[in-house]
Chain A
């Protein structure tokens, strides 16, 4: 069985500030981990993914995430928030033939 917990359903930052969105997972086997972004009335778009290899993963729009096995975490960060980053972010874990389990999402608000 696999599950995902996203800590904080809402995160608010000022433009230019650090973005940190938290994700913890549980998986009985080594996981594949994903971060998706969802803009209003849109489908989910992949930001980045971890499968194997380097534990620090860089994605689109300046986001990155680090896989920490000991902490079962895959937190998403961006050094400097931009207004266009305002959206909902979903962490997902997958292993079994592509079946992904999603967290409940974190809504990111960016204040001017």
Chain B
């Protein structure tokens, strides 16, 4: 069975440009997360979806970040406009929904803003 798939793996953009990341979770996983991992730190939650509903977006910088999960499967995370401080690895993860199960992570998208 395929794991969580993210694309692109790497992205380099100039500041003030827009960028989008895509995630395809494991089939049947209702819960999807976007995390940001800064260099030398652990992942920090940006947004959590239960099916197509964003149930926790308290850490998402809403002035420039947006996300969607149409049809409750694939998800996209967008930044517009990007800032130098947005350089990080953006990780997508999914779980079946039960609280005691681990998250399955994609390989991440490494964003560099220059």
Name B108's closest neighbour in chain A (CB-CB): A43
Contact of B41 among A34, A46, A101, A105 (CB under 8 A): A105
Binary interface profile of A, 85-112, with partner B (CB < 8 Å = 1, else 0)?
A: 0000010101111111111110000000
CB-based contact A98/B41 at 8 Å = no
Q: Is A45 an interface residue (CB 8 A)?
A: yes
Name A95's closest neighbour in chain B (CB-CB): B99
Residues of A within 8 A of B110 (CB): 41
**B 13-65 contacts with A by CB, 8 A:** 31, 33, 40-45, 48, 50, 55-56
Interface size class of chain A, counting residues whose CB lies under 8 Å from the partner chain = 20 to 34
B residues within 8 Å of A by Cβ? 4, 31, 33, 40-45, 48, 50, 55-56, 91, 93, 95, 97-108, 110
Q: A94-B100, A98-B103, A104-B40 are in contact. List 5 more A-B contacts (CB 8 A).
A: A32-B99, A41-B110, A90-B42, A97-B56, A102-B44
**9 tightest CB-CB pairs across the interface, nearest first?**
A102-B42, A43-B105, A51-B100, A46-B102, A44-B105, A43-B107, A104-B41, A102-B43, A104-B42
